Amino acid sequence: MSHAGAGYAPKRVLVTGGAGFIGSHLCDALIERGHEVLCVDNFYTGARRNISHLLGHPSFELMRHDITFPLYVEVDEIFNLACPASPIHYQNDPVQTIKTSVVGAINVLGLAKRLRIRVLQASTSEVYGDPQIHPQTENYWGHVNPIGPRSCYDEGKRSAETLFMDYHRQHRLDIKILRIFNTYGPRMDAADGRVVSNFIVQALTGEPLTIYGDGSQTRSFCYYSDLVAGMLAMMDTPSDFTGPCNLGNPAEFTMSELAHEVLELTGSKSKLQHMPLPQDDPRQRQPDISLAKDRLGWTPKVALREGLKETVAYFDRLLSDR
């Protein structure tokens, strides 16, 4: 299944969570390829400003809807991104978070089954929990606390993967599963508590940069444009490849390194402030992307410094508009 850009018929594509940070960039990319996009969002964490530039576009339609309720629409393809994805948001209403992942997956899969169409699940590196192997490969089963404060998200996403595989085996549904690692860039929510947005907003407002623990824990940061390219490539793979497939940037940075990079790019005089490490916070996170390289021909192109520059510029504009 290829895309309109390659000389194929345009599709009507459903993006759940389409007003979110990643979802809105995916909507842009699909429209750029000549598709029609039906963006579904309940605006729990999505923002109208992320898609305001698309509201008058003839190929874009917005539907305010919560996917924990069934969805009756006609589309050719589904990207399921609906779910709060930052600890502040998913722990704020943990019951709703797990319902969005599990009941939402059932509703999206039911729709795909009725229409006999391909559906992609945006899963997460959080399915690996606090990993005991490094870097993480797709055949690693993870190390997750099923009853901790993060488990509404971790176990919700793990259950969604289970449902996708069971619909595939039982109903021969055409599915794709991506495990997305830390992603950053313009349109991130300033108050979502993620480390990139936190550091940048703190640096720009002269607040101390909050580092949890000693700052030696690592993350890998993928710029949104690389991630979206990987999602589109995954959707184009043959039906026999379901995934799961890791998508992320394997370049690993400590929190201290990230903090100093942000301070340098913003020219901020902010100090560093150390706080206790949150419960079940993973010590290290790094994707093994051999499978994505092999099956999608995908590798990230944007270096951290380059992506951070764009992200700093975005937050600078956002804060000066307030």
DSSP one-letter string for 287-306: B--HHHHHHH-------HHH
Contact 280, 145 (CB under 8 A): yes
Active-site residue, 212 included = no
Decide: residue 69, CB within 10 A, 0-12 exposed, 13-18 middle, 19+ buried.
Answer: exposed
Q: How far apart are alpha carbons 37 and 23 in whole angstroms?
A: 11
Q: Which residues fall within 8 angstroms of residue 94, CB to CB, at 6 or more apart?
A: 149, 152
- Catalytic option among 44, 128, 153, 184: 153
Q: In what order do the strands lie in the sheet with 12-16?
A: 60-64, 36-41, 12-16, 77-80, 118-124, 175-180, 245-247
Residues belonging to the active site: 153
